[in-house]
Amino acid sequence: METKKQFDGFLFANTMNLSNYSCLVAVGGDGSLSEVANGMLARADKQKLPIAFIPNGSTNWFGITLGFFSNIDMALDALCGGIVSKFSVLECLTDSEDSSEIAMGIEGFKRRRYALG
């Protein structure tokens, strides 16, 4: 699915029927990956899939961190080869001590975000 505006990646990962897929692939920059990860983690049904990343943005810091060095061919090789990297997820809350009081989905995005590290 092609994103056309801000939050499309979030909404796709947050609302789509995941039973038809074995993973989601974010193609773009660090912001695209962040939107997909945040959308997945903010699902009301708590369903999750692995997220693959093909760096195609301006800085691709996350691709560099993974060792792809902004090389699409290397990213595709890792994806097709089933190479998995695990990351810590940091939940960042604004104006709240407890995430349970924050709405799921896009409604909660202003008060809860996730960072990959």
* Tokens found for residue 39: 């959308």
Q: Say yes or no to pLDDT of 39 above 90.
A: yes
Measured CA to CA, the distance from residue 97 to residue 6 in angstroms comes to: 28
Alpha-carbon distance of 26 to 58, in angstroms, equals 15
The whole-number average pLDDT for the span 13-40 is 93
**pLDDT of res. 60:** 79
- The gap from C-alpha 51 to its chain's centroid, in whole angstroms, comes to 6
State how far the alpha carbon of 55 is from the alpha carbons of 12, 77, 96, in Å.
19, 13, 33
> Distance between CA 29 and CA 47 in Å, rounded?
24
pLDDT, residue 69, reads: 62
Confidence of residue 38 (pLDDT cuts 50, 70, 90): very high
Strand blocks (E) in 5-109: 24-28, 51-55, 89-93
pLDDT digits (tens, 9 = 90+) for 52-109: 988 888 887 887 877 766 678 888 888 899 888 888 899 999 998 999 999 999 999 9
Domains within the chain, CATH numbers bracketed: 8-87 (3.40.50.10330)
pLDDT at 59: 80
Question: What integer best gives the mean pLDDT of the chain?
Answer: 89
pLDDT value for 82: 87
Q: What is the pTM of this model?
A: 0.88
Mode of pairing for the β-strands spanning 112-116 and 89-93:
antiparallel
